[in-house]
Structure 1
Amino acid sequence: MDLLDRAPSEKELIFQSKVLCKDFIYSRITREGLTWSKVETSLPLSDEKLGEVSMVLLKLGDELEYMRPYVYRNIAKQLCIPVSVESVVSDAFLSVATEILSLGITWGKVVAIFAVAGGLAVDCVRQGFPAMVHTIVDSLGEFVRKTLVPWLRRRGGWGDISKCVTITDATSQSHWTTTVVSTWRHFVNTMYIYLMK
């Protein structure tokens, strides 16, 4: 039986989250023309359905970043944090992720958290700290454990995100667009609040 075909355990959800985060980050690092070879040589997805979920996350992340590219770039600079200090990177990521979900959880907001993780990872690699990517992945896993597990379990796991991209007509707007726009606005406010602390 496939991991995504049954109600996932907390441990499985955390593991899947970290695999999805690594794949998302790897995609962003590759897209920027950077390499992550010091940390990872390959990122095989262990499950075909998990691979499909990853593709959906990447597509939604692309759309979100296309709509507001400046929000998901230069994350470390926007947060005024050094990427050389593990605890600072972890605390900043967890703070932003918590703030994004402060008004409720939606798939759009979850995608925004992945986009922040990807942007922060690119900053770390670009500044010569590729090992910090593991800190971001572990922080996302911890965030999922503390915040998202019950929500994900009610939806049957990560596979539920595939329902966000059922419309293929480019002239139609899918139901998640409004949530994504709201999410980026909330993220901008979060960045401002974090910087003012």
Structure 2
Amino acid sequence: MESDFEFEIDVNEVESFEVVDYFYEYHANVRIGSSLCAQYIRNRLKRSGIFHRKLGLKRMRSSTLLPDLAVVSEVSPVLIAIGTELEKVNPNLYVRIGRQTGCGSFSDQTVAVTMTHVSREIIRHGEITWSKIISIYAVAGGIAVDCVRQGKPEYLLVIQKALASVLEQDLAIWIQTNGGWSALVSRYRSSTKTPEWNTKKLALFVAVITPIVFILAIVIRL
């Protein structure tokens, strides 16, 4: 017996759901990227020996929303590992950024302007890549170290907000169309069973990013 009812699909309704999903993923990539910034800065300060609990990093971590925790936890170690290796290979580039850019002692305005300007100069040369995005996080870590050493830890949140703005305006769409933040993990981290592969992959990454480093060196010395 045939049913008298027919299930009709409203094309406009389907498209509206797709739009909602698109914007949800877009804003999720911005939130995740902002939280990764907090994680990277925290790690950079620890590696520099200037981290302490009175820096106010809890306010930065509070931006990590529960739905994003799994992705942040997955991506953060990879982002930090590659960024740390990048800093080691270029020991004079991601330090004293305030001096290199001529800012000297940072203010809340010059912190935001420097973070935004350097980030956009990096991605302005050629296409956006994961290499450039990681380099931007290394810059954020370098500026954070400058601010803490200048006795201005309150500017750490300014750095995070400036990077979030770059993500929202310049990077989130690229990240979304290239598999989201998890794609960084699948591309650059090997399984725990093959640590040799991981070392080779990291070495290859540093080789690929070298031209970007030269661009950054020119940018921050302008």
Deviates more, 1:77-86 or 1:166-175: 166-175
Q: Distance in 1 between matches of 2:56 and 2:89?
A: 30
Structure 1 residue 90 corresponds to structure 2 residue 112: yes
Deviates more, 1:64-73 or 1:168-177: 168-177
Q: Any idea what SS the aligned residue of 2:195 has?
A: coil
Q: How does 1:115-126 map to 2 (within 5 A)?
A: 115-126=138-149
The answer to whether the 8 A contact 1:83-1:89 is kept is no
Calculate percent identity across the aligned residue pairs. Answer: 27
Deviates more, 1:78-87 or 1:93-102: 78-87
Structure 1 residue 138 displacement after superposition: 0.3
Deviates more, 1:35-44 or 1:181-190: 35-44
1:141: which partner in 2? 164
Structure 1 residue 183 corresponds to structure 2 residue 200: no
Letter of the structure 1 residue corresponding to residue 177 of structure 2: R
Q: Distance in 2 between matches of 1:12 and 1:83?
A: 34
Deviates more, 1:39-48 or 1:102-111: 39-48
The answer to whether the 8 A contact 1:109-1:179 is kept is no
1:49 to 35, 48, 71: 71
Deviates more, 1:157-166 or 1:91-100: 157-166
Structure 1 residue 27 corresponds to structure 2 residue 49: no
Q: Distance in 2 between matches of 1:165 and 1:180?
A: 16
The answer to whether the 8 A contact 1:76-1:120 is kept is yes
The answer to whether the 8 A contact 2:188-2:201 is kept is no
Q: Distance in 1 between matches of 2:168 and 2:107?
A: 23
Q: Distance in 2 between matches of 1:172 and 1:136?
A: 32
Structure 1 residue 168 corresponds to structure 2 residue 195: yes
Structure 1 residue 32 displacement after superposition: 1.3
Larger Rg: 2
Q: Distance in 2 between matches of 1:173 and 1:13?
A: 25
Q: Distance in 1 between matches of 2:195 and 2:117?
A: 35
Q: Any idea what SS the aligned residue of 2:153 has?
A: coil
Q: Any idea what SS the aligned residue of 1:104 has?
A: coil
Structure 1 residue 41 displacement after superposition: 4.2
Letter of the structure 1 residue corresponding to residue 95 of structure 2: R
Deviates more, 1:158-167 or 1:62-71: 158-167
Deviates more, 1:147-156 or 1:34-43: 34-43
Structure 1 unaligned residues grouped into runs of 5+:
1-5
Higher helix share: 2
Q: Any idea what SS the aligned residue of 2:196 has?
A: coil
Q: Distance in 1 between matches of 2:181 and 2:105?
A: 29
The answer to whether the 8 A contact 1:13-1:157 is kept is yes
Q: Distance in 2 between matches of 1:41 and 1:148?
A: 25
Q: Flag the 1:105–1:35 CA change in 2: closer, same or farther, 3 A.
A: same
2:57: which partner in 1? 40
Q: Any idea what SS the aligned residue of 1:176 has?
A: helix
CA RMSD in angstroms comes to 2.1
Structure 2 unaligned residues grouped into runs of 5+:
1-20
TM, length-normalised to structure 1 = 0.86
Letter of the structure 2 residue corresponding to residue 30 of structure 1: K
